[in-house]
Amino acid sequence: MLLDLSPDQEFFRETTARFLAAHAPVDELRRMRHDAVGFDRDYWKRGAELGWTSLLVAEAHGGGSISGEGVVDLTLIAHEFGNAAAPGPFVPTNLVASALSATNTRLDVVEGLIAGTSIASWCDEVGSISVDGSDIVIHGTHRPAESATEAEHFLVTGGTDDGLSQVLVPRDADGLTIEPLHTVDLTRRFSSVRFDEVRVPADAVVGEIGAAAEQVERQRHLAVAMLNAESVGAMQRSFDMTVEWAFDRYTFGRPLASYQALKHRFADMKSWLEAAHAISDAATAAVHARDAGGPELVSAAKAYIGQFGPELTHECIQLHGGIGLTFEHDVHLFHRRVILNSALFGTPAEHRQRVASIFEESVLE
């Protein structure tokens, strides 16, 4: 988390933390683990009323941020989502609302997303989008799409003859098929979404045909910034649980935390955690400011957190001993969150390659 939060930002963060503690406690997460939806609609609507879904939307469209830095404010909420392993379509709904607001498209849909009365999912990199007379035709498959089974709208990104394009597709479109997937995360739901020659009218285009590359890149940076903050929140929760355990658990009359061998392991984890906080915060600030170094920094953050997040939470499981390996203990919930986040919107290896490519391009220039 950023070290210097304004009073309004701190109140915003604390309000979300208290809400999630009350409405998404661990017992509720376990109760919902076999539920096809994974969250309650009223829970999501009440969260939207707290401001979860409006931070990337222009004020003219009903949105607005706490501090004037919408991306930063959004990652405050993302951190708390990770810290609670909370359910809900937080990332996709904000991405779609942001895209529609930025392109001044379907503001009626934006209104529903902000209010929490409707849900949207982003299908990035679907096979193809083509123009056929007055229709837009979509063909391809995207996986994994978060909260697709509950979404009323799908923002579909695909290639056209002129470049990347985006189209907003309603759930009831002919040829759209949703197949739920199983993932390691117990608290979120993902699906495979297939588009078999799905046809929508021309006014479903978000922006202009062939001109969506810059907007799509922006959406990807926002997605990674949210996932990074969420993973850091889960890392922090896992670390705090493990430190508390090590001081409470005694062996041979001494707390586990007093043993030198374990102190070294805690020191390593603490350094990973502090570095993850720092690089996530720096990347978030760069994405908000649309800094020229933002793409490199956000990929560096994803690569680092995607690698050391799972290592840290795995260490936390091991340090809990036998109880940490049981399903009944809570630490695995946060390990699962970090593991899946590390694979979404590019693996650590893919983001390291992006950093290398950006560096190579800068050298050639």
Euclidean distance between CA atoms 55 and 59, whole angstroms: 9
Q: Which residues lie closer than 8 Å to 213 by C-beta, 6 or more apart?
A: 163, 164
Is pLDDT at 11 greater than 90 in this prediction? yes
Mean pLDDT of the 267-278 span? 97
Asked if residues 227 and 337 have their Cβ atoms less than 8 Å apart, the reply is: no
Is the pLDDT assigned to residue 257 strictly greater than 90? no
For 220-239, letters b (16+ CB in 10 Å) and e give bbbbbbbbbbbbbbbbbbbb
Query: DSSP 3-state assignment of 169?
Result: strand
More confident residue, 240 or 252: 240
State the pLDDT at residue 1. Answer: 55
* The pLDDT of residue 364: 72
- Quick one: pLDDT at residue 15? 97
Q: What is the pLDDT of residues 127-146, one digit of tens each?
A: 889 998 889 999 999 999 99
Residue pLDDT, tens place only, 211-240? 999 999 999 999 999 999 999 999 999 999
Asked if the model's pLDDT at residue 89 lies above 80, the reply is yes
pLDDT at residue 251 in the model: 82
Residue 365 has pLDDT above 70, yes or no: no
Q: What is the mean pLDDT of residues 85-93?
A: 97
**Contact criterion met (CB below 8 Å) for 121 and 147:** yes
- pLDDT given for residue 121 in this prediction: 97
Average pLDDT, the chain: 94
According to the model, what pLDDT value does residue 2 have?
57
For residues 166 and 207, the answer to whether their CB atoms sit within 8 Å is: yes
At 349 the pLDDT is: 97
Whole-number pLDDT of residue 3? 64
Overall pTM surpassing 0.85 (yes/no) = yes
Distances in Å between the Cα of 286 and the Cα atoms of 228, 301, 338, 344 are 14, 11, 23, 20
pLDDT confidence band for 150 (50 / 70 / 90): very high
User: Which two three-digit tokens encode residue 92?
Assistant: 């996709």
Each residue's pLDDT tens digit, 316-360? 999 998 899 899 999 999 999 999 999 999 999 999 999 999 988
57 contacts: CB under 8 Å, gap ≥ 6:
63, 64, 97, 98, 101, 110, 114
Domains of the chain: 7-115 (1.10.540.10), 120-204 (2.40.110.10), 213-364 (1.20.140.10)
CA distance linking residue 33 with residue 90, whole number of Å: 18
**Position of tokens 């203990």?**
329
Cα angle value 43/95/308 (rounded, 5°)? 90
Contact present, 141 and 156 (Cβ < 8 Å): no
Q: Residue 185 pLDDT > 60, yes or no?
A: yes
Q: Report the percent of the chain where pLDDT is more than 90.
A: 87
**Per-residue model confidence (pLDDT) at position 249:** 84
Inform me whether the pLDDT recorded for 46 exceeds 70.
yes
Q: What percent of the chain lies above the pLDDT cut of 70?
A: 99
